[in-house]
Every structure is written in structure tokens, then in C-alpha cells.
Amino acid sequence: MANKAYPVPVFSAASERNKDPILKVLVDAFRDCREVLEIGSGTGQHAVHFARNMPYLNWQPTELAENIPDLMERIAREGPSNLRPPIALDVRQHPSPAERVDGVFSANTLHIMDWESVDHFFQGIGQVLNAGGVLCVYGPFRYAGRFTTESNAAFDLDLKARDPASGIRDFEAVNELAEKQGLTLLADHAMPANNQALVWKRIGA
């Protein structure tokens, strides 16, 4: 099933709240990375904040083509020099338009895409992430078929009311897709507002 277009706001209050807790995870996870790809950059608030606070790496934001103009505007206005202009990237497109990188970040995307796209997301990472590279995915997850909180269960219902193909993903199923691409889970950080930051490393070639 195709993804239902997700309307990206111009400003996200949630991104302002979660950007510092996520940065803390990324500073450690991406300590050996120099080229990082972000999938589904949305408003670009994360990209600006992370590029500013990790000046030793280059950050490549991406979005679906229709969301590029607004993202481009924020990045041109606020971005430091290590934040690259955004490129159009739909995870369903192969080969991935991204260059090879040693880090990939994505926030709040897997529960917006349909499941087939989640599979494409990991296939794309298999194409662009170097051996030894790190993937960090931020967002809500279910474990052993259960929501971590009542509010996540309610959020899942809201998501499905908008698009029945979307919804909070099972950690185990996502981890299986990651393992198929040679990724090994390094850490699962509990984050504010019932979210997780999952960190994988690509051990093999």
C-alpha cells in the first residue's frame, strides 16, 4: 500500500523538546562518524541543531520531494556550514540517491510509513551505510506485542485513523529487518515522552 502523504508542519514543538535528549545519544553514537545521512528531516529543526552541535561531521538532510522547499528555506536561513543542502529521498526509491555514509539518523518516520516502506528504509541503509557505520532511529515502539504506555496505544489509534497503513512498529520486527542488513543492536535508550532511541552498528561488510 502507498504511503499517505504526511503533512510536515513548518515548526515542530516536539522537535524543540526532544532535540537535546536526542543530541546526547547522537554525540556518543556518532563519535567516529564524519558523514551522516538523515532520512525524513521534516522541518529541519533536528538537522540544524545536530549539525551545529557536532561541527566535526557533515549532516545530509533529506525529505520527500514535495517537502524539500520548506526544508531548504530553514537550512539556508539557519544552517551552519557542515549542514548540506537537502536532497529528495523517498525510501522506496532504489538505488538510494544518497552518497555512502558512516552514520544514518531518522526520527519519527517508521510509524508514519507503511510496513513495505519500512522494509525499503532498511534496504536503502544496506546500500549506503559503510561497514562499521551506525544507525540511530528515534520514535515510539512496541515490545512483545505491547505498547509501552496507554498514551502510545492512543497515539497508535490516532495514526491509524489518519492512515490505516501507519502505526507504531514492533521492535522485534524492525530489529529483524535491521539484522538482514548486517546491523547489530548496540543500545536501546528510553527517551522522554515514551520514545526510544535505537542504535545499531553495521559490523560486517
Contact between 27 and 58 (Cβ < 8 Å): no
* Bridge partners for 106 per DSSP: 137
> Taking the mean position of all CA atoms in its chain, how far away is CA 57?
17
Q: CA angle, 136 as apex, 39 and 51 as ends, to 5°?
A: 65
- Residues numbered 45 to 74 that lie near ligand SAM (CB under 6 A) are 63-64, 67
3 touches ligand SAM by CB under 6 A:
yes
127 versus 184: smaller Cβ distance to ligand SAM: 127
* Residues in 162-201 that interact with ligand SAM by CB under 6 A: none
**83 is a contact residue toward ligand SAM (CB under 6 A):** no
Smaller CB separation from ligand SAM, 17 or 132: 17
When asked if residue 123 is in the footprint of ligand SAM (CB under 6 A), the reply is no
Q: What is the DSSP code (8-state) at residue 56?
A: T
Given candidates 26, 33, 112, 137, which one binds ligand SAM under the rule CB under 6 A? Answer: 112
CB atoms within 10 A of CB 27: 12
Which residue has its beta carbon closest to ligand SAM?
42
Q: Which of 1, 7, 19, 11 is nearest to 195 (CA)?
A: 19
Cα distance from N-terminal residue to C-terminal residue, the chain = 32
Among 90, 103, 152, 195, binds ligand SAM (CB under 6 A): 90
Q: Is 113 one of the binding residues for ligand SAM (CB under 6 A)?
A: yes
Figure out which of the listed residues 91, 118, 128, 177 binds ligand SAM, where binding follows CB under 6 A. 91
Q: How far is the CB of 172 from ligand SAM (least distance, A)?
A: 22
Residue 95 is which amino acid? P
What is d(CA 188, CA 174) in angstroms, rounded to the nearest whole number?
13
Please select the residue that binds ligand SAM; options are 4, 24, 52, 92, rule is CB under 6 A. 92
Burial class (CB in 10 A: 0-12, 13-18, 19+), 11: exposed
Which residues in this chain contact ligand SAM in the complex, by CB under 6 A? 3, 6, 8, 12, 15, 39-42, 63-64, 67, 89-92, 107-109, 112-113, 117
